[in-house]
A = this chain, B = another copy of it.
Amino acid sequence: MSLAHTILATLGSESYSGYDLWKKFSQTSKYYWQATQQQIYRELGKLEKEGAIISELIPQEGRPNKKLYQVTDKGIEKLKTWLLEPAEPMSIREELLVKVIASRLVSKSVILQEIERHRQIHLQKLSEYKEIEQREFSDISQLSYDKKCLYVTLRCGIRYETYRIEWCEEAISLLSEEADK
């Protein structure tokens, strides 16, 4: 449900093509929403059909033509309505935890190594996010409201990766104790 709204919100400040949106989603929106190219194209098609956005065909030389999308008044209204509705906390689906639960079927080192691998991935992402924080949000008192919102999403990403790393460490420590099994 939110992909449509994320697209509308993104198109609110600037026109984008499907491809541009996909790149944006892979960059700045990645802390809070992920989408594949196909999902984006499908959603753009739906939104245009219902009149929330309109497209303009931009012929390009040397490159494939592109469709630039813009939000309509109807699209803005749709977004506003949605903003006023409460959002439920997202449901949790943690594949790694399912593996932990089932892990007695394989040797203990399998799950311990897998958790350690995840720890490394989260460490990597955390350092990446912290770099962005230093580069782009060093002086938070000077930020516009829009930039502040972006910063808030980045902070969420930073806190998320931190929580994951800490959990991985706790899990490794708890599960590697040689008490029984």
A-to-B contact residues, CB < 8 Å: 1-2, 5-6, 8-9, 12, 29-34, 76, 79-80, 83-84, 86-106, 110-111, 114, 117-118, 121-122, 140-141, 143-146, 148-153, 155-157, 159-160, 162-164, 166-167, 170-171, 174-175, 177, 179-181
Contacts and interface: CB of A to CB of B under 8 A. Distances in A.
Contacts of A102: 5, 8-9, 12, 79, 83
A110 B92 contact: no
Q: Name, among A150, A153, A177, the residue most crowded by chain B CB atoms within 10 Å (CB to CB).
A: A153
23 contacts: A2-B95, A5-B98, A6-B98, A31-B94, A31-B97, A32-B92, A33-B97, A76-B105, A79-B102, A84-B110, A86-B117, A88-B95, A89-B122, A92-B157, A97-B152, A100-B153, A101-B153, A143-B179, A145-B181, A148-B179, A152-B170, A152-B174, A155-B170
